Amino acid sequence: MTYKQTIEYLYALQPPFHLVGAAAYKPGLANTEALMVHLNHPERRFRAIHIAGTNGKGSTSHLIAAALHAAGLKVGLYTSPHLVDFRERIRISDNRKDTTFSANTQALRPMKMIDEERVIRFVEDNRDFLETVQPSFFETTMALAFDYFAEQQVDIAVIEVGLGGRLDSTNILPPFQQPSDPAQPSFGVMLSVITNIGFDHTEFLGDTLPKIAAEKAGIIKPDIPCVIGETDEQTAPVFLDAAKRNHILGDGLETDRCRIFFADRCEYLRRERLRIAPECQLKGDYQDHNLQTAFVALRAVWNTLMQSSFPSFSRSVQTGFAQVCTLTGLRGRWEVLNTRPLTICDTGHNSHGLRYVSTQLQQILRERLSTHADSVLRMVFGMVDDKDVDKVAELMPGQAVYYLTQPATHRAIPADRMLSIWQTALPHTQATAYPRLADALAAAKKDCRQQDILFIGGSNYLVGQVLTN
C-alpha cells in the first residue's frame, strides 16, 4: 500500500471521531489490552508523562516536549487530532545538532513526524489483527505511537489523552516502575497532568464539573506525582480525593508526603517562570495557564529525569518555551496567518476555551479602534455538533461581522443553524451563513481592509482545512 492508501484504509476500517462522532468512541481498555499483548507490550518499554484535561492539553504537551527536547532527551510526543497530516499525531526528537537550521550552529533540529513508511509497515504487519479485533481509529493510532516510541527507545514520551481519562485507551500506561534488574530500563508514567475542567463531551464524561473531573482524575496513578493546572471549588475536592486514594496526599497535607501540585496556586513557581522563560511562541492569552501547568510539571519531574542543576533546567525551559512551535510543529494556536489585515486562526472549540479567545479579540479590536476608528472585526466561524454552541454564541464579540460556516465533516453544525443561533444570541450583530468554508473565507477576505481583523476558528477541523489550503 502507499501512504495515502494506508490512511484511507485506517479511516475505512474504523472511522475517526472527527468524522462520525460518538460512533467512533469505544470506552474501556479491552481492545487496547489486546493490542498491547499483540505488540509485545510497548507501553512497558518507555517512561511517560500523561496529560488529560478539557482544554490546553495539546499546548501543554508540546510545551513539555519542547523543554525536554531542548534538554537533550530523546522525546516522543503523541497528540490528537491532527490538523493537516495524520503523522502530526506522532513525533520524535532528534538530538543531533542541525547546522543548517539557523545561523546558530547549536540550533536544535525540530521534532520529526513519524515516517510514512513506518505507518505503512505497522498497518501491513498488523492488518489481520486489526480487522479481527476492530479497535477504534484512536486505539490503532495510539498503538502505532507506543510501538514506535518503544522501537526508537525514547527517553520519555509525552502522551496526550484522547477523551476523558479513566476509560481512555492511553490509560493503559502503567505507573512508573524501576525493575529490580538494573540492566532493565525503567518504564511507566512518571507524572500525571490534568490541565483544567470544563464542559465538553458531556455525553461521555458527565453533565457536571465534578463528574467530568472524576473521569479526568482516572489517570492519576498510585504513588505517582500529579499536577493539576486549574481548579475551582467544585473540582478541587475531586482531585484531592483521588490523590488520597492513590497515596499521593498525606493526612493534613504534610509537605513530605504531598505529591499533588496545583499549578494555579504555585505563586513562587509563577514568578520563577516569568523570570526564567518570559518569551513563548504561543501568543494566545489563554496560554498563560498552559505555560504555568507545563512549568510546574517540568519542575516536578526534572530531578528524576535529568539529575542536573537548576541552571540546566532554566536554559532548557527557556529554549523550549521560546521555540515551542518551531521545535514541535505545533500549529493553530492563536496563529497569525497574515498581518495586513491581521488574520488569526485558533483551534478553541468550546465555551471554556473560546471565552479567552473572545476576550482577547475584543481587546485587540479596542486597541485597533483607538488608531483606526473604522476597523472591523470579521469572524469566519463554524462548530461541530457535540459542542455547547449556544453558550459559545453568548460569549462571542457583539461588535463583529460573522461569516458563519461549517467544517467539512458530517458532524458540522449546518451554517443556517449557526445563523439561527447567532440571531438569537446576538440579534444586533451582522451575520451571514455560508455552507462552504471556501465561500465564507472568500467573502470575508473580499470585505477586509488592511485595518480590519480577521479571525478563523470554532473547530479544530475548520482550522485544519484553512491550514491545508
Q: Domains for the chain: give ranges and CATH numbers.
A: 3-328 (3.40.1190.10), 335-468 (3.90.190.20)
Count the neighbouring beta carbons within 10 Å of the beta carbon of residue 11. 13
Antiparallel, parallel or unpaired: β 377-381 and 453-457: parallel
pTM of this structure: 0.94
**pLDDT value of position 354:** 94
- Say which range, 18-32, 82-96, 101-115, 173-187, has the weakest mean pLDDT: 18-32
CB of 158 within 8 A of CB of 294? no
**pLDDT value of position 104:** 42
91-129 residue pLDDT tens: 999 765 444 444 343 578 999 999 999 999 999 999 999
Share of residues in the chain with pLDDT > 70 (%) = 92
How buried is 23 (Cβ within 10 angstroms: 0-12 exposed, 13-18 middle, 19+ buried)?
exposed
d(CA 181, CA 161): 31
3-state secondary structure of 228: strand
Amino acid present at 122: F
C-alpha cell at 83: 490538523
**pLDDT value of position 250:** 58
Q: Looking at residues 371-399, what average pLDDT do you find?
A: 94
CB of 396 within 8 A of CB of 356? no
3-state secondary structure of 110: coil
Count the neighbouring beta carbons within 10 Å of the beta carbon of residue 446. 7
Above 60 in pLDDT, residue 308?
Answer: no
Q: Looking at residues 326-347, what average pLDDT do you find?
A: 96
d(CA 359, CA 427): 19
235-257 residue pLDDT tens: 999 999 999 999 997 554 444 55
Residue 424 has φ and ψ, to the nearest 5°, of: -80, -45
Q: Looking at residues 76-104, what average pLDDT do you find?
A: 78
Amino acid present at 88: E
CB of 218 within 8 A of CB of 167? yes
C-alpha cell at 219: 489517570
Half-sphere exposure of 161 (CA within 13 A, CB side): 29
C-alpha cell at 328: 514541535
d(CA 242, CA 226): 10
d(CA 210, CA 323): 36
Element (H, E) at 335: strand 335-339
Count the neighbouring beta carbons within 10 Å of the beta carbon of residue 400. 21
C-alpha cell at 305: 529525569
